Amino acid sequence: MFPLSFEIGKYTIFFLILTIFPWFSSILFSFSYIKEKKGEFYTFFLLTFFLNLLIFFSKDLLTFLFLFELLSLFSFPLIIYEREKEAIFASKLYFMFSLLSGLFIFGGLILLQSGIQFNTLSIIAITIGLLIKCGAYPFHIWLPEAHPIAPSPASAILSGCIIKIGFFGLIKLIPIISSQFLRTYGEILLIISIITMLYGVLQALLQSNSKKMLAYHSVSQMGYILLGLSLFAISKNIDGLSGSLLHAMNHAFFKSLLFLSIGSVFLEYGSVDMYKVKGFFSRNKVISLLFLIGILGISGIPFFNGYISKALLHEALLEEGTALFKIAEIIFLLTAIGTFTSNFKMYYLINFRNNKKIEKPAKPNKNAISSLLILSLLVILLGLLPGIYKYFLPRYLGEEISNELYLLMPFGQLFLEGLPSFILISIAGIFLIIFGLKTGLFHKKIPYILDPLYWWAFVYILSILFFRNLIYKVELFIIKGFSFITRVLGGFLLFDSKIDKKILETFKVSFNFSVKKIGYSQVFDKELLYALTYSVLPGDKLLPDKVSKRAYSFNEKISTYYSNTFSFLKFLFTVANKTDLKGAQNYEHFVKINGKKLITTFIIITIILILGFILLLIYL
Amino acid sequence: MITFYFLFILPLLFILLEALIPYEKKNLISILTATLSSLLLILLITLYLFHTDQTITLIQSGPISLSFKADLFAVITSVFASILWIFSSIYSIAYLKNEEASKIKRYNIFSILNLYTIILIFLASNMITFFIFFEILLIASYVLIIHNQTPEAFAAGMKYLFFQIIGGLLLLFGIILTYSIIGTTNFSPGGYIILTQSKFFSIMFWCYVIGFSIKAGLFPVHIWLPEAHPIAPSPASALLSGMVIKTGTVGIIRLFLEIFGRGNLMGKVDIKILLLLSLFTMFWGSAVAIGETHLKRVLAYSSVSQIGYIIMGVSLLSPLGILGALIHTLAHSVVKGVLFLSAGAVISDTGETDIRKLDGYGLKNPLIFAGFTVSALSMIGFPLFVNFITKWTLGVGAIEALSEGSIELWIMILSIAVLLISSVLNAIYYAPIVIRGWFYGEGKEKYKIDWLKVLPILIGTALIILFGIAPSWLIDFSRNALSPLIPLKSYPKPF
């Protein structure tokens, strides 16, 4: 068997628990959500499930890479499930970024085979690959496109479980890093994580599509997770590592809860635009309440699980006092305010605001309620009894943390210590919601320069227009050059320059476009990106129609001319066939006209070559 | 010995048989070709089991000596050639069904001739034999290219002929120089050190290499390839892209290991130039393929890129690099075979060669398009398929070459970078075709399943997945094949 190696590692149990509950709920929920194309959905859904579980048993990074690439491949049809243009764009983006991350990890693994020599370079390569999978800024751009467009059960597990696999890879990677590089590594990771946190939450505040907002929150919460990991890398901070592990588990639970709740909203209203949907609370009180539990979890409200992990991470952040850490702490606080604001804003907008009419309550949906109930119970339970985490964490971590987990129980010492900052966050959040809704602050957009999606779009369009044009021109030049040489060498009687010119003309692709013609503003047009990725060729929609003719279409005159020229070859193989007398006649006619030219050409070429050989041999 | 004689005479008998069959029994001819391929496969396996490393010399007069040696390297490449021929000939029973009887006869006769010469090329134990059958292969493959007899086919065939004749002449010149320096052209493990130290080394090297690379399709002499391979009928394209261009790369492997010698070549500037050229080919082939609209032209440019991989592996001169080159040669023949055969099925079903008009083909003919998808994904380099293994081996080969001291650091970084970038470029042109086939159109009417076309594709797909999951058979046989050639006592493993 291929050298895949499996083991039950230190973190296996933890990640399996993290994975199983969201998956169970999503599968349960999907029975009432997925009504058509079930075969396609469930095949790849369950294949993804299998790989998602298997990957946590991998022993080394090669097995990890193998399974992760397969997982990205099998989760592709989930994203392109609805065949709309946004789905096609998102799925191609997802495919490309998965491939890129796989290649980065692959390159890093190859470099690792050389022993110690390329440790730094390979670690950087593998980290970039894993960060693409995790959704860290600036590699996150596939996430807010792919996660919203997938059907809700798929979004739930994509955001809940699959981005944690990158985190798993990073945990496995850290022991390999050489100790002198480790601190720098941690600091760079810290900077990336705080930018991710802040950027994610800022974008989340400005979204109107609820699922896209949740996807940006996934980016932001991954920033939290990476923050803890970076603190662990810098100073072996156990609070940091366990904080990020616990936050990973918490995020899996409340994010999948949120996505499935939004899925229920979609089933009721057919839309997830939070400004258009109103009054869900009066339609379906039970699901609305379970929805609220998810909101409370992600915002870090005491008694729910988000509070536990955020408190641990905050503790870890306080350990050092350098400038970087102070900035990190401020951003931590701002992100918490932003998370609170955007989540409660969404909850309010979707569930209430129906002052005029009282909606009829909807039919209870057993699948949805039970799936949401499981996750909500977990959210509440882990918030009230954080000691349970100790049983999932690896033994050494569990023992070190158990004291702090005990103190984080409701009304424990650490619990009460965190309350003041929580009250500050909630007051600031409530003010921001009221202020923002009144002034329309939430309808602004982030400037294009900061959004990596448009960096990618710009580079992509430039590379289509300029780069491919250049390559085509060079290839054309080579073909023309060889045609010229062969004609000079005596082939001018055997090669028809008209045919060659025809071939070259249809081969030529006229790219008369420059970026200026498209217009810089058009580059930032989503519709253009959708059109570009819909087609097969990069830039297909930009090409004028006459270029898309088939490369091999000739008119009859040239065909007959050519078949005369080469009918001696036809003669060799078909004159024995009595049905092709015309070919034989053509050949005889041809020989009468051109026979002398042919023979002289052959003789000239032979003489030149023989003379050339003799000269060379004499010279040598 | 008897097996050797069978090997020489049996194909000629079959050619005679096929020439004598009357025109009415079209299908019988193709079936005979398939039978011959299977018989040759059995013969080759017998050759390996009972006559390993035996040499047989047919003619010996002066410099001309026809001799063949059945070492493992020869046998394993020939086995893959005959497997590819079995696939292609079974497929051609269905594909060429509607053509004129004379054309079918001609196709099959020259297809057997092709296989015959390729096996003899692989079995050759000196350069003269290699060269003689190399030239015969030229004519045999020319006939396959011009099968359709349209003006474009003749143009492409003429271009092919022109290039290959020049290549052959350069090769002959190299052989003459070799013979004049060492008095023999026999392949000897470890090579001849006198050759690398002589003052004609550069001329010899480049004559040989350009001669072989015109056949293989290295930049900038690759331009015959995207015209010749699409214009041939699909089973012939599979053979051409699968095995005929590999004779050039096998020639380079034999050259580097048994004529020049791996240790003697290390550190020479010429090898580094070849390495950079092959890296550029890897990039260039994929880059030009991105904008192509004709399905088979895309696959032809992809072949150019893959030849770059193989030549890169060989010019790295590390054992793992050469191992990667060999596995890639064998794996790519199967993968490209499946790609061309399924492309042929696509074209004959829909009548379209434009990749923008193939929406939803996968829903209409899932089995064939599944074969296409699997081999396209393998080309991109997904694990579970065989090209992941070959890419890994080539990458580790580059690292090993650095540790052996034959290349500098920047070359190694460049080669790994180009390896990864070409994966991205492969994805850019393969993925849209695959996605478009499965996810775009509607699959209301299904095409009829033609089992003669589907069966080879499915078996090829199964082989791709099998070698991807359990590559140890392939890797171990290749290691055992290469270790006497270098010679190396314990051949490193890629994993």
Nearest to B470 among A2, A113, A558 (CB): A2
CA-to-CA distance for B165 and B283, rounded, in angstroms?
27
- Asked if the Cβ–Cβ distance from B356 to A536 is below 8 Å, we say yes
Of the candidates B495, B459, B457, the one whose C-alpha atom is nearest the C-alpha of residue B475 is B495
Closest C-alpha to A178, from A134, A124, A105: A124
A120 contacts chain B (CB < 8 A) = no
Q: In this complex, is the C-beta atom of A506 within 8 Å of any C-beta atom belonging to chain B? A: no
Give the residue from B407, B350, B381 showing the smallest Cα distance to B464. Answer: B381
Residue A587 to chain B, least CA–CA distance (Å): 14
**Chain centre distance of CA B76:** 13
Contact between A252 and A156 under an 8 Å Cβ cutoff? The reply is no
- CB atoms under 10 Å from CB of B271, counted, come to 21
**Residue B384, Ramachandran bin (φ over 0: left; ψ between -120 and 50: alpha; else beta):** left
Alpha-carbon distances, residue A564 vs A463, A561, A583, A588, B151 (angstroms): 45, 5, 8, 9, 10
Is B414 near chain A, with CB under 8 Å?
no
In chain A, what residues touch B423 (CB-CB under 8 Å)? 99, 103
The minimal CB distance from B154 to the residues A92, A539, A562 is found for: A562
pLDDT for the residue A525: 60
Q: Percentage of chain B surpassing pLDDT 90?
A: 46
- How would you class B78 by CB atoms within 10 Å of its CB: exposed for 0-12, middle for 13-18, buried for 19 or more? buried
The pLDDT, as a whole number, for residue B51 is 74
ipTM of the complex: 0.91
DSSP state of B56: E
- Residue that has been written with the tokens 């191992």 in this structure: B323
Asked if B155 and A562 come within 8 Å (Cβ–Cβ), the reply is yes
CA A3 to chain centre: 27
pLDDT at A553: 31
Q: Is B437 in contact with B447 (CB distance < 8 Å)?
A: no
**In angstroms, what separates the C-alpha of B471 from chain A's closest C-alpha?**
6
- Touching check for B410 and chain A: CB below 8 Å? no
Averaged pLDDT of chain B: 89
Residue numbers of B between 268 and 287 with CB closer than 8 Å to A: 284, 287
Nearest one of A403, A217, A407, A214 to A307, comparing CA atoms: A407
Q: Do B224 and B213 contact (CB within 8 A), yes or no?
A: no
A491 touches chain B (CB under 8 A): yes
**DSSP assignment string, B339-403:** HHHHHHHHHHHH---BGGG-TTHHHHSHHHHHHHHHHHHHHHT-TTSHHHHHHHHHHHHHHHHHH
Q: What is the CA radius of gyration of chain A?
A: 32
DSSP state of A543: S
Put simply, the answer to whether A554 touches B470 (Cβ < 8 Å) is no
Measure Cα distances from A150 to A27, A53, A86, A91, B340 in Å: 14, 21, 10, 9, 34
pLDDT in tens, B280-329: 999 999 988 887 778 999 999 999 999 999 999 999 999 999 999 999 99
pLDDT of residue A570: 44
* pLDDT score at B211: 94
**pLDDT per 10-residue tile (average), chain A, 620 residues:** 80 92 92 87 93 92 92 91 84 90 93 81 92 90 91 92 93 86 90 93 90 93 93 87 91 93 89 85 86 90 86 85 87 92 90 70 79 88 84 82 80 81 88 86 78 78 67 79 69 55 53 43 60 55 33 32 43 42 57 64 79 81
In angstroms, the CA B406 to CA B424 distance is 28
Q: In the structure encoding, which two tokens stand for residue A343, read together?
A: 């989540």
Check if A530 contacts B (Cβ < 8 Å): no
* Chain B positions in Cβ-Cβ contact with residue A491 (cut-off 8 Å): 158, 162
Contact by Cβ (8 Å): A121, A166? no
| Structure-token match 């001018």, residue found | A492
- Which residues make beta-bridge pairs with B124? B68
- Give the position of tokens 């390559």: A471
DSSP state string for B175-207: HHHHHHHHS--B--TT--HHHHHSTTHHHHHHH
Give the Cα separation of B13 and B116 in Å (integer).
12
Give the Cα separation of B367 and A553 in Å (integer): 31
C-alpha radius of gyration, chain B, whole number = 21
Structure tokens at B465: 């997945």
Q: Report the residue of B294, B316, B416 to disrupt the A interface, i.e. the one with the largest count of A CBs within 10 Å.
A: B416
Check if A500 contacts B (Cβ < 8 Å).
yes
Question: B436 touching A, CB under 8 A?
Answer: yes
- Is residue B250 pLDDT above 90, yes or no? yes
Measure the CA–CA gap between A104 and A123, rounded to whole angstroms: 10
HSE-CB of B418 using CA atoms within 13 angstroms = 27
- Give the span between the Cα atoms of A620 and B181, in whole angstroms: 12
Residue B317 in contact with residue B401, Cβ under 8 Å?
yes
Q: What is the DSSP string of A123-171?
A: HHHHHHHHHHHHT-TTSGGGHHHHHHHS-HHHHHHIIIIIHHHHHHHHH
Looking at residue A505, what is its pLDDT?
A: 58
A interface test, pick of B20, B148, B159 with most A CB neighbours within 10 Å: B159
Residues 6 or more apart whose CB falls under 8 angstroms from that of B281 comprise B218, B219, B222, B304, B305, B307, B308, B311
Confidence of residue B377 (pLDDT cuts 50, 70, 90): very high
In contact, A74 and A87? CB cutoff 8 Å: no
Closest CA–CA distance from residue B335 to any residue of chain A (Å): 19
Cβ contacts of residue A587 below 8 Å, gap of 6+?
Answer: A567, A568, A570, A571, A575
| Contact by Cβ (8 Å): A192, A137 | yes
Q: Write out the two tokens for B219.
A: 């930049």
Across A245-254, B25-34, B346-355, least confident range:
B25-34
Q: Contact A211/A159 with Cβ under 8 angstroms?
A: no
The DSSP annotation for A28-42 comes to HHHHHH--SSHHHHH
- Give me the residue from B291, B382, B428 closest to A69, CB to CB: B382
Q: Are A336 and A314 in contact (CB under 8 A)?
A: no
Q: Is A569 near chain B, with CB under 8 Å?
A: yes
A537 touches chain B (CB under 8 A): yes
Cβ of B417 within 8 Å of Cβ of A107? The answer is yes
Q: How many CB pairs under 8 A join A and B?
A: 159
CB A321 within 8 A of CB A397: no
Cα B148–chain centre separation: 23
In sequence order, which residues have a C-beta less than 8 Å from that of residue B184 and are 6 or more positions away? B126
Residues with Cβ within 8 Å of A138's Cβ and at least 6 positions away in sequence, in order, are A452, A455
Three-state secondary structure call for residue B65: strand
Verify whether the Cβ–Cβ distance B382 to A73 is below 8 Å.
yes
- Considering only CB atoms, A536 lies closest to which of B223, B402, B436, namely B436
C-alpha span between A390 and A395 (Å, rounded): 8
Interface test with A, best of B144, B199, B203, B384 (most A CBs within 10 A): B384
Closest CA to B372 of B431, B424, B328: B431
The closest of A329, A127, A140, A309 to A225, measured between CA atoms, is A309
Q: For A599-602, which contacts have Cβ atoms below 8 Å and span 24 or more sequence positions? A: A601/A490, A601/A493, A601/A494
pLDDT at A129: 94
Q: Cβ–Cβ of A536/B432 closer than 8 Å?
A: yes
DSSP-H helix ranges across B51-100? 72-95
- In angstroms, the CA B22 to CA B18 distance is 9
Q: CA neighbours within 13 Å on the CB side: how many for B252? A: 35
In DSSP terms, which residues pair with B55 in a beta bridge? B69
Q: What is the rounded distance in angstroms from the CA atom of residue A255 to the CA atom of residue A249? A: 10
With tokens 């309440």, the residue in question is A289
Q: Is B143 at the interface with chain A, CB within 8 A?
A: yes
CB contact under 8 A, A80 and B435: yes
Please calculate the CA angle A337-A343-A346 and round it to the nearest 5 degrees.
Answer: 135
Q: Any idea which residue has 């492409």 for tokens?
A: B156
Chain A contacts of B231, Cβ < 8 Å? Answer: 552
**Mean pLDDT value across residues B176-194:** 88
pLDDT at B14: 87
The pair of three-digit structure tokens given for residue A93, joined into one six-digit string? 């983006």
CA B418, chain centre distance (Å): 21
Q: What is the DSSP letter of B260?
A: I
As a whole number of angstroms, the distance between CA A585 and CA A574 comes to 12
Residues near A106 by Cβ (< 8 Å), separated by ≥ 6? A65, A129, B381, B391, B392, B395, B420
- Tell me the residue type at A344: F
